[in-house]
Amino acid sequence: MSFYQSDTLMNRSRSILRVTEATGSRSRRADYAALTRRAIIDAARALFAAKGFFAATVEDIAAAARVAPATVYAVGGGKHGLLRTLMDEWQNAPVIQATYDHIATLTDGEAILAATATGTRDMREEWGDVMRTVLATAPHDPRVAEALAAVTASYRQAVLLVAQRLADTAALKPGTSAAAAADVLWFYFGYASYFTLTDENGWTLAEAEKWLLAQASATLLR
């Protein structure tokens, strides 16, 4: 190998090393940024649940996430931005699509309602704290109320899809339309019923799921 070839290979190796180091540095920065963002979101979620949206401060969130308050605004968009992020995560929780996909395969009314009851129970196990925060905050904050309205519209559309599946499989009692069934399903599996039974009456989620399923089945199924 000539001196020129050796020098060229060395230069190429140095260039590759610089690119690799730069890529690694960017990757580490991206990983750190993602971890910081996650820490801020998780801190906000815990504090909103413990203290309420209005009582929790940006300073509280920053201290819990071990960042500066300015970082909470820059990364999370402040308290409203963080609550919006939590609502987006709630609305896009994997269990929702998994429940839809499962229901689409079912042809028995009892099984469809059982899947609905289980899916809504799972959502409350995973996201009940965020739901409570949003429901408590919305009446006093127009921005949160607007965001909740959008989430609720999506939720109600999902309930209507369940009702339509019951209608399509001829599972509903005679004279019960899909629209009427959707209203009944919302009564049992919307926001209020689970929280009334668990938060106010002290039931477990399993007890609430069993009772709500029995009532919905008795009301809707032929």
Q: Which of 82, 107, 142 is the last residue of a domain?
A: 82
pLDDT digits (tens, 9 = 90+) for 70-83: 999 999 999 999 99
Please check whether residue 25 is in contact with residue 109, taking contact to mean a CB–CB distance below 8 angstroms. no
Asked if 110 and 76 sit in the same domain, the reply is: no
Query: pLDDT exceeding 90 applies to what percent of the chain?
Result: 85
Q: Which of 35, 50, 82 is the last residue of a domain?
A: 82
Question: How many domains, the chain?
Answer: 2
Q: What is the pLDDT of residue 134?
A: 98
Asked if 116 and 191 sit in the same domain, the reply is: yes
Asked if 103 and 194 sit in the same domain, the reply is: yes
Rounded to two decimals, the pTM is 0.86
pLDDT digits (tens, 9 = 90+) for 172-205: 999 999 999 999 999 999 999 999 999 999 999 9
Asked if 143 and 208 sit in the same domain, the reply is: yes
Q: Which of 82, 102, 120 is the last residue of a domain?
A: 82
Q: What is the pLDDT of residue 12?
A: 65
Burial annotation 121-139 (CB, 10 A radius, 16+ → b, else e): bbbbeebbbbbbbbeebbe
Q: What is the pLDDT of residue 3?
A: 45
C-alpha–C-alpha distance, residues 133 and 124, integer Å: 12
